[in-house]
Amino acid sequence: MKLNPIFSAAVLAAAMVSCVFAQEKKNEYISIDEVKAVADDWRDFQIQGEYVWKNGGMVFACQCIADGDGQFTVVGFPGGFPGEGWIAKEVRVVYKGKIEGNEVILKPAYMDMEGQNNLPIPETHNADVTKIDLEGKTITFIVPGKPDRMAVKVDRQSPRLGAREDGAFVFYDGMTKDATSTENLERFRKINEETGAIFSEFTTKNLEQGKECFIHVEFMLSFMPRAKGQGRSNSGVYLNQCYECQVLDSFGLRGENNECGGFYQQKKPICNAVFSPLKWQSYDFHFIPAKFENGQKVANARVDVALNGILIHKDLEITGQTPGCKNEADEARGIYCQGHGNNVQYRNIWVKYAD
């Protein structure tokens, strides 16, 4: 399936990002100011994120994951971030450590590559040390006998934030607190009164049955540093209420079918393009529904998916429904954004039908 020019051009659009909401278990924050009020969490939040070291044509990109209570995991990607230089089959270097005094001190923990986890760090790197300043501005890699490498904090943003194609039908805006009409939603949980974004656990009105279309969804993950795995800001976007593209805080992980960008229990993404929590992110789907004749499916659904402007599925054939919502059927259905106990937010949800 060739990408439609509308889809291809769409992933190059530009916009701005804002950060307003975080939640973890019993501590529920509704603004950055309230995150700041919890000193340790605010400190960890500032340190998490993305860092890059460059020297001529050499690039080493890092993703720093907040594990809670002053502990961190740093993942190093030779060549650049996933989808922007790093190849999924290449090795990743994983560092682990915690705050000690006025810095985060980390040591190489293991390496991994596709199909091979927990590979040992070479003995020659046992003396390596990695340091992060507590303001979260730099990561310094110290290798005895070699010049230090200092990676600086970067703030990547999805080029698709705020995108709106001519002729699109808007299910929900939520870009401002005044753009909160829910007339095109069949049910919803609640709206963030500060921003206008809507919380997960809602269904849009039905898509036009059987029509090829382009779907845009923006979401924000909660900041849950002590949670792990599927408990870390879990939700999902169900196309036709039966095919789940996972939403999860899997920042820095390898990218599996049950992590952000994966079609649950069917297909992992080409690369893990998810950003860290409390940043607006974007999904763009080019969706061709399954075809039915006399009530029987004769062709599977197919989809292209871009996460934050990076193609993570190309001409993916979805072989059947994924768990958690409805079975495949020859009927008109909407888009379901799953509620899974975490306060994931959504906005700017629209569809444009192919000519």
> What does the pLDDT look like over 200-228, one tens digit per residue?
999 999 999 999 999 999 999 999 999 98
| pLDDT above 50 (res 190) | yes
Q: How far apart are CA 349 and CA 355, in angstroms?
A: 20
Q: How far apart are CA 164 and CA 33, in angstroms?
A: 30
pLDDT for the residue numbered 115: 77
pTM of the model: 0.90
More confidently predicted of 22 and 145: 145
pLDDT for the residue numbered 24: 41
According to the CATH classification, is domain 158-353 in 2.60.120.560?
yes
Q: List the structure tokens of 292.
A: 């039915």
What is the residue extent of each domain of the chain?
48-154, 158-353
Neighbours of 25 (CB within 10 A): 11
CATH (residue range 48-154)? 2.40.128
| pLDDT above 80 (res 31) | no
Nearest to 258, CA basis, from 193, 340, 345, 165: 340
| pLDDT above 90 (res 355) | no
Average pLDDT, integer, range 94-123: 92
DSSP string, 223-292: --TT--GGGSS-EEEEETTTEEEEE---TTS---TTSTT-BTTTB--SS-----SSSEEEEEEEEE--EE
Q: What is the DSSP letter of 82?
A: B
Task: Tell me the pLDDT band of 16, cut-offs 50, 70 and 90.
Answer: very low
The mean pLDDT value of the chain amounts to 89
